[in-house]
Structure 1
Amino acid sequence: MLDAHLSSPPNFWMESYSCLYSSSHRTGLLSGFQRLRSERKMCDVVLEAGGVAFPCHRALLASSSEYFWALFGETTKESSAASVDLPALTPEGLDAVLDFLYSGWLSVSPSTIAVVLQAARYLQVETAVSICERFMIDGLSAQTCCCYANLAESQVLSDALEAANQTIATEMVTLLQESRDDLLQLNVQSLLAVLDADEIPGVREVELVKLALDWLDGNGPLPLLKSNLLLSRLRFGLVCPDDLARLKHRALSTPLIRSQLTRALEYHRMGPAQPIRQSKQSTLRASASRVLLVGGGSGVDRPEQHVLAFDPSSRTFSSLSSGLPLRLRHHCACSVGGFLFVLGGEEVKDGDEDGKKSVAVATSNQVLRYDPRFGRWEQAEAMLERRAQFSCCVAGGVIYAIGGRRADARASVASVEFYDMTARAWRRGATLPRALHGHASTVLDDSVYVIQLLRWDLSGRVWEKRASMSIARFGHRLASAHGFIYALLGMYEPFCDIERYDSQADHWTRLRPLLVGSFGYGMASTPSGNLLVFGGRRWSDGQEVVTKSVLEYDTKKDRWREICQLPRPLTGTECTLLPLPD
């Protein structure tokens, strides 16, 4: 008898498995359903809208739409119905959405977007809704923004609504001229958002006030709370007193709006104190601050009255419509509360003595103030002393005028004064340890710094000696950025080195030299901390040449580059940042 035994199974290597995907299968599946629909084969339900029938397949509809999934559920009467009526939809909208479900392609245009979006939202086809929203955002323009804003608001499309509202604000000047009726039909949420915008280029505030009142006439009466909410978005401080006095409307008679109108009139009566009494009601709806180039000219003895505005984002120049009232050199410029101040300097006048042309120069203590809200120059309180080749800076809304040269001699002065706008007067500040002119100053951490280096903590009355620069300079520039002070070139320096001061360590560090040595240039510090240098003079073949270059210094990367050129050669200009109406 043979012994029986169980043999062991063969020892195979463990098998490996792969999961492979066919990208064409899904497309082929949809193509098959699309062919069945076009040939009206195996259709088990008919959808009807506006008297038009659309044979379809329940399985595809239910798998593609939450609405149809619920509609064709086991407990609904439509689950076995041969036809389903959809009276809320148009044939065009339903046809477009069904084509999308069967093919993945959505046919939409500006004329059909409303009905297609309505159908996609009603049938809960969220992918189609997202495509419609993207189509609206990409197609925003002055012609479509109001219509799309109303559509986005009614269909609760937050991204499209926000984008449409921004476009309305940007295109407002065109809309007021060409499509005012579209604005008057705008939904209230969009109008609220637009009137709350910080940038509405090219539009006077009084035009927005008239638009809001006309909208209330056409869409009111609104509940008191909503009417107040709408009108409180207006900035009455940007409307001149004469226009404010002419405003007549029942919606302006509520206590809240009357108080805002009263505050606007009080603001206009504040005069010199306006810069330190700013609020949203008096803040320009303007883009980021421009760099103003105040005065200067093609030569140091030929100052001009023009004021250029430089847009750092587009690197373009424009001229202020209202130039300087005077021809000045060796003056100072600064900004406070959205106002431009031009201080002192030497006033240059052309004369004619005995038939010969002459030039008269007189050192000034005048202070000019420019209000960009109304494009108007005004005379502010004069400084206590006449000053030229001095420096000015701003700290805490206070303007400080430091040192300079006397009116009647080349002698320097050590006096310091500051402008108390509340009292409408200039006051004496802490006197410098010695007389200075041709110097520079800046503000860092609530202290004023003056080269050689002196520091004045504004809470005290004494200047404190700090570390001097490694290079003696005259006619140079100072700027503060990222917690440091930067000193740029002065007149006739043999090298192009610049320096950085660390106030914590009381130490100067030399940095990358300027591309080309120059002096008599304008300089501004941008919000990003970069420094811009405009024009100036340099030596070329033994002669002084006025340049057109605009240089940018990256304070973080210690790098210089030329970014553009001025419209014409310029020297002796003074720079400051100021928001301007477009």
Structure 2
Amino acid sequence: MCSKSRSCHSLTLQDDLPLGTSPRLCRMDTESSEGLLFKDHDFSSDLLRQLNDLRQNRILTDVSICAGSWEVPCHRNVLASSSPYFRAMFCSNFRESREAKVQLKGVDASTLERIVLYVYTGEVHITVESVLPLMEAASMLQYPKLLEACSSFLQSQLTPSNCLGMTRLSEIFSCETLRKKAREVALTYFPEVAASADLKELCALELRDYLGDDGLCGEEEKVFEALMVWIKHDLQTRKRYMQDLFKQVRLQYVHPAFFHHFIANDALLQSSPPCQTILETAKRQVFSLYSTASSAGLQPLWHVPPRNSYQDFLILLGGRKDNQQTTRDVLLYDGQTSRWQSLAKLPARLYKASAVSLHRSIYMLGGMAVGKSVPSAKVYVFSLKLNQWRPGQPMLAARYSHRSAAHKNFIFSIGGIGEGHEVMGSVERYDSVGNVWERMASMPVGVLHPAVAVKDQRLYLFGGEDIMQNPVRLIQVYHISRNTWFKMETRMIKNVCAPAVVLGERIVIVGGYTRRILAYDPQSNKFVKCADMKDRRMHHGATVMGNKLYVTGGRRLTTDCSIEDSASFDCYDPETDTWTSQGQLPHKLFDHACLTLQCIPHHSTVPWVP
């Protein structure tokens, strides 16, 4: 064709263009750095569909893949393109590259059909019945995405009863995601996993790995029980691992009654001298008031931290709310979600009872039942795990407006107002192992509403008021193991209806008809002034979570000296010596108990406070 003809042809094409289209872009012989990259997104799937039609009609198929007597016609080039396994088989000098039929050992007929369908369509239906043979075939034939799909399916089927078996399966097929997920389930639901038959089949190293994991969600009592079940399943073979595995039980977080009745006198542990040594160390360090020394060569048990699964919760109990009615409400604050939750109500409306946390339980002591004019000696015990109250061992003396404190496995009930409406100086102690109360030495001066805290084997009472409601400028100190008191006068103390908490190495006295925050150092017997609260507060609550001080509710004195109930919720950070608001309580509240309960959250649903 002549150049003139080519030019005319080009012009004809331009003349046919829609109005507004640039003719320069459509000239066939114009060179340009820009162009159109056309992508047919359906081409691959259409091609596969056509290839599958050819396969199903046995057109151009050149090999049959066999499982026993079952044969599936295929195209060598399609199989070789789909996996390194088939590529090596058909593109190397193996005899299979020339054979018309290739037998696949270890693959059943239905699995083979699913694999071939996956190769030609990119789809496969995975079920509970088919997943394991499909996974094995995907691993052998080198289809990593299919293997991962099977792994994802198995992850969706994980339960406490099968997660240990799934862990073994993940190791066989080198499925790291399945292994991590199965281990996560095993740790999260350890009490249920411990009841499964698979736990007994673990080797010693595997069991040690689980029991020693900081993320294990289970009380130490359950850890001990799981260990003993495993050892007794094959006692003669496994008892040589007992000492090493017993060290994984964090004895300082075991309830002392459980330790005393089920661990300390266990015949199997007693038969092992190294285990006996561990037990004696635990008795001295954790369960005795009189010694903290550890055995030679053994790390102090107190240095072992609680498992990461333990969480601190702030609990508010009783008190007077809104219109000053005594309430039975029990509220839980979850610092991780910043939400309040209602728990089982107190068994009775108790006026100025005292509460303390011990061994993952809350003990509500005494108080005056609303409608009655006499104090109570009753004790109620709350389990957060069960969300349930039960009666406890009653105190020796009925009292209200008293204070309480916990140390190791003991609770101290201090002072208050007795049945004759007198200010009491008496002290009694509850032994949680023996479930008994006993009278202790009385305080030097009977006071009401002191700030109370326990630090380094000593119980401290700061201030308070006498029977005439005058402030008492005293620090009264009780030496716990010696059962003796002494007192110190100080001008620094003038607190009434104020709580005290242990924050680091100091005891912090929080308000009490004042905005002032005082930190007391028992070692130097000196006070340090901290940042003031916003308001002058009394009848409020205070507790420590995560090395920070939280103050709840109370009553505040306004600038014109009137008294208002408060719903404030504030946090003090000792690192920065600053206060921040955490919002508001669900309602105004004062004269309530405020404490921290450390436990493992369980998988239960309780209605949230609106």
Structure 1 length-normalised TM: 0.68
Unaligned runs of 5+ in 1: 1-9, 350-358, 498-515, 530-553
* Residues 12, 191 of structure 1: alpha-carbon distance in 2 compared, 3 angstrom cutoff: same
Specify the code of the residue in structure 1 equivalent to 2:474. Answer: S
Q: What is the aligned counterpart of 1:493 among 557, 579, 582?
A: 557
Name the counterpart of 1:392.
452
Name the counterpart of 1:501.
none
How far apart are the structure 2 equivalents of 1:23 and 1:149? 39
Unaligned runs of 5+ in 2: 1-27, 295-299, 345-381, 384-388, 603-610
Deviation at 1:280, TM superposition (A): 7.6
Name the counterpart of 1:184.
200
* Residues 293, 440 of structure 1: alpha-carbon distance in 2 compared, 3 angstrom cutoff: closer
Residue 36 of structure 2 is aligned to residue 18 of structure 1:
yes
* Residues 37, 279 of structure 1: alpha-carbon distance in 2 compared, 3 angstrom cutoff: farther
Residue 381 of structure 2 is aligned to residue 363 of structure 1:
no
Residue 332 of structure 2 is aligned to residue 317 of structure 1:
no
* Residues 423, 299 of structure 1: alpha-carbon distance in 2 compared, 3 angstrom cutoff: farther
CA contact (8 A) 1:522 1:575 kept: no
Deviation at 1:201, TM superposition (A): 6.0
Name the counterpart of 2:180.
162
Deviation at 1:100, TM superposition (A): 2.5
How far apart are the structure 2 equivalents of 1:496 and 1:146? 67
Deviation at 1:140, TM superposition (A): 1.8
* Residues 252, 215 of structure 1: alpha-carbon distance in 2 compared, 3 angstrom cutoff: farther
* Residues 258, 123 of structure 1: alpha-carbon distance in 2 compared, 3 angstrom cutoff: farther
Specify the code of the residue in structure 2 equivalent to 1:234. Answer: V
Residue 352 of structure 2 is aligned to residue 291 of structure 1:
no
Single out whichever of 102-111 and 294-303 deviates more from structure 2: 294-303
How far apart are the structure 2 equivalents of 1:146 and 1:116? 20
Specify the code of the residue in structure 2 equivalent to 1:183. Answer: L
Residue 607 of structure 2 is aligned to residue 560 of structure 1:
no
Specify the code of the residue in structure 1 equivalent to 2:134. Answer: V
Residue 211 of structure 2 is aligned to residue 195 of structure 1:
yes
* SS at structure 2 position matched to 1:560: strand
Deviation at 1:81, TM superposition (A): 3.3
Name the counterpart of 1:518.
565
Single out whichever of 74-83 and 461-470 deviates more from structure 2: 461-470
Deviation at 1:61, TM superposition (A): 2.6
Name the counterpart of 2:414.
344
* Residues 393, 103 of structure 1: alpha-carbon distance in 2 compared, 3 angstrom cutoff: farther
* SS at structure 1 position matched to 2:452: strand
RMSD: 5.0
Q: What is the aligned counterpart of 1:208 among 206, 226, 232?
A: 226
Name the counterpart of 2:366.
none
Deviation at 1:493, TM superposition (A): 3.1
Deviation at 1:212, TM superposition (A): 2.0
Name the counterpart of 2:153.
135
CA contact (8 A) 1:291 1:576 kept: yes
Deviation at 1:107, TM superposition (A): 2.2
Deviation at 1:443, TM superposition (A): 5.8
* Residues 156, 35 of structure 1: alpha-carbon distance in 2 compared, 3 angstrom cutoff: same
Name the counterpart of 1:551.
none
CA contact (8 A) 1:114 1:151 kept: no
How far apart are the structure 2 equivalents of 1:49 and 1:526? 71
Deviation at 1:446, TM superposition (A): 4.4
How far apart are the structure 2 equivalents of 1:71 and 1:284? 52
Q: Deviations along 1:228-249, whole A, 9 cap, x unmatched? A: 5545433456352332356455
Q: What is the aligned counterpart of 1:573 among 589, 592, 597?
A: 592
Residue 539 of structure 2 is aligned to residue 475 of structure 1:
yes
Deviation at 1:288, TM superposition (A): 1.0
CA contact (8 A) 2:138 2:144 kept: yes
* SS at structure 2 position matched to 1:72: helix
Q: Deviations along 1:432-491, whole A, 9 cap, x unmatched? A: 434432345456674445443544445533335677667544434567899997877653
How far apart are the structure 2 equivalents of 1:390 and 1:443? 15
Name the counterpart of 1:48.
66
Residue 53 of structure 2 is aligned to residue 35 of structure 1:
yes
Single out whichever of 193-202 and 23-32 deviates more from structure 2: 193-202
CA contact (8 A) 2:520 2:527 kept: yes
Name the counterpart of 2:263.
244
Q: Deviations along 1:145-201, whole A, 9 cap, x unmatched? A: 34323322333333322322332344444456xx63343345666544442353126
Q: Deviations along 1:113-167, whole A, 9 cap, x unmatched? A: 2222222222221111211222222222245434323322333333322322332
CA contact (8 A) 1:145 1:167 kept: yes
Q: What is the aligned counterpart of 1:405 among 460, 465, 477?
A: 465
Name the counterpart of 2:248.
233
Specify the code of the residue in structure 2 equivalent to 1:240. Answer: F
Single out whichever of 151-160 and 179-188 deviates more from structure 2: 179-188
* SS at structure 2 position matched to 1:54: strand
* Residues 526, 459 of structure 1: alpha-carbon distance in 2 compared, 3 angstrom cutoff: closer
CA contact (8 A) 1:449 1:455 kept: yes
Aligned sequence identity (%): 17
Specify the code of the residue in structure 2 equivalent to 1:287. Answer: Y
Q: How many equivalent pairs are there?
A: 505
Residue 123 of structure 2 is aligned to residue 105 of structure 1:
yes
How far apart are the structure 2 equivalents of 1:577 and 1:486? 10
How far apart are the structure 2 equivalents of 1:405 and 1:144? 61
Name the counterpart of 2:365.
none
CA contact (8 A) 2:443 2:476 kept: yes
Deviation at 1:368, TM superposition (A): 5.0
* SS at structure 2 position matched to 1:136: helix
Specify the code of the residue in structure 1 equivalent to 2:555. Answer: M
Name the counterpart of 1:437.
496
Specify the code of the residue in structure 1 equivalent to 2:120. Answer: Y
* Residues 116, 463 of structure 1: alpha-carbon distance in 2 compared, 3 angstrom cutoff: same
Single out whichever of 570-579 and 267-276 deviates more from structure 2: 267-276
CA contact (8 A) 1:393 1:442 kept: yes
How far apart are the structure 2 equivalents of 1:488 and 1:72? 76
CA contact (8 A) 2:543 2:551 kept: yes
Specify the code of the residue in structure 1 equivalent to 2:451. Answer: S
